[in-house]
Amino acid sequence: MFKNVFGSGFLVRTAHVILTWVITLILFLHDTVLRKQEETGQLVQPVLFVLLVLVSVLLYFAVSLMDPGFILSDDRDLHFTLGVTEEQQDMIPPTTKPLRQRRCGHCLLQQPMRSKHCQTCQHCVRRYDHHCPWIENCVGERNHRWFVFYLAVQLLVLLWGLHIAWTGFSYAPSWQLWLRTNGVLLTVVVLVVLLSLIVLLLLGSHLYLVSLNTTTWEFMSRHRISYLKHCGADENPFDRGTFNNLWGFFCVWGTVVWEQVYFREGSDQV
Options 104, 132, 231, 251, the catalytic residue: 132
Output the CA–CA distances (angstroms, integers) from residue 267 to 169, 212, 264, in the order listed. 63, 20, 5
Closest CA to 161 of 204, 201, 193: 193
Strands, E assignment, 106-241: 110-111, 116-118, 123-125, 130-132, 137-139
The SS3 call for residue 133 is coil
Q: b or e along 79-99 (b: 16 or more beta carbons within 10 Å of the residue's beta carbon)?
A: ebbebbeeeeeeebeeeebeb
Which residues make beta-bridge pairs with 2?
A: 66
Instruction: Tell me how far apart the alpha carbons of residues 226 and 264 are, in angstroms, rounded to a whole number.
Output: 18
Q: Is 118 a catalytic residue?
A: no
The SS3 call for residue 207 is helix
Instruction: Tell me how far apart the alpha carbons of residues 178 and 189 are, in angstroms, rounded to a whole number.
Output: 15
Instruction: Tell me how far apart the alpha carbons of residues 193 and 199 are, in angstroms, rounded to a whole number.
Output: 10
What amino acid positions are annotated as catalytic residues? Answer: 132
